[in-house]
Amino acid sequence: MTNNFKSGFIAIIGRPNVGKSTFMNRVIGQKIAIMSDKAQTTRNKIQGVLTTKAYQMIFIDTPGIHKPKHKLGDFMVQVAENTLNEVDNILFMINADEGYGRGDQYIIDLLQKVNQPVYLVINKIDKIEPEKLMQLINQYKDLYEFDEIIPISALEGNNVDHLLEVLADKMSEGPQYYPTDQITDHPERFIISELIREKVLHHTKEEIPHSITVVIENIEEREQEKLLVQATIITERSSQKGILIGKQGSMLKKIGQQSRRDIEALLGSKVYLELWVKVKKDWRNKQNQLHEYGFRLDEY
């Protein structure tokens, strides 16, 4: 660690599906946040740690701010809002391809109450013409006094290094909070459950993704350095269970095969994955079940 070492906590906030998780994974260099083209993918705060010889940045990928439709939605929005008061810098990310939309003004109103520096990050610039980008920059300049506006493409990597340079330049001296080789503060069980949920999001129809969660029941070592991972996919209706299992178990097999590859890459070990599907009716509106599945505001 060098003299004048810098460190800081950085929140990534924005509407659903603007690319926050893609940005997080790009910066950290490994998948720790799941990605999907379906909105409201992230449900908890995901902390990613980037450490160099000069600084340590702790990024917090928050759930997309949206109008809640159930208790789980209330939890997700509250987590995102609470995070604003706990960090040193805030990245307000928007989707260049969509531009200003419902929800942006709500976020900007929230930002009026914070004292931390706020950077507008215009993501997905690879999808728009330069003229539209300039229009967006001018539009958002009038809405809030951002410390800086930085266009990027998290998917392609365009201008991401410049964003990191800006953050590093403005960062204060501070301690190294995490070991150099640690890239997240979440336990492996959490990341494994998220990797499985990502595959469900990818393969199932629109009515299923937001009604499922994944519970890791057991992880244990088996013979020949192979790990046994046993997990349950929780859903709300019997009809959804049938879709998740598929004809002769085909869907569950596909989800399991693809999940196993990502889990093996994460753990650096061969994995035997067992998946089950259980129905817990209306679990997203039941406080005790939300707590059981790890959605607890008192931990945030």
Which residues belong to the annotated binding site for GTP? 14-21, 61-65, 123-126
Residue 240's contacts (CB-CB under 8 Å, 6 or more residues apart) are 207, 208, 211, 212, 279
Beta bridge partners of 214: 233
Report whether 86 contacts 213 (CB < 8 A). no
Beta bridge partners of 271: 227
Binding residues: 14-21, 61-65, 123-126
User: For the residues of the chain, what is the DSSP string, one character each?
Assistant: --TT-EEEEEEEE-STTSSHHHHHHHHHTS--S---SSSS---S-EEEEEE-SSEEEEEEEPPPP---SSHHHHHHHHHHHHHTTS-SEEEEEEETTT-S-TTHHHHHHHHTT--S-EEEEEE-GGGS-HHHHHHHHHHHHTT---SEEEE-BTTTTBTHHHHHHHHHHHPPB----S-TT--BSS-HHHHHHHHHHHHHHHHS-TTSGGG-EEEEEEEEEETTTEEEEEEEEEES-HHHHHHHH-GGGHHHHHHHHHHHHHHHHHHTSEEEEEEEEEE-TTGGG-HHHHHHTT--GGG-
Sign for the CA dihedral angle at 124, 192, 206, 243 comes to positive
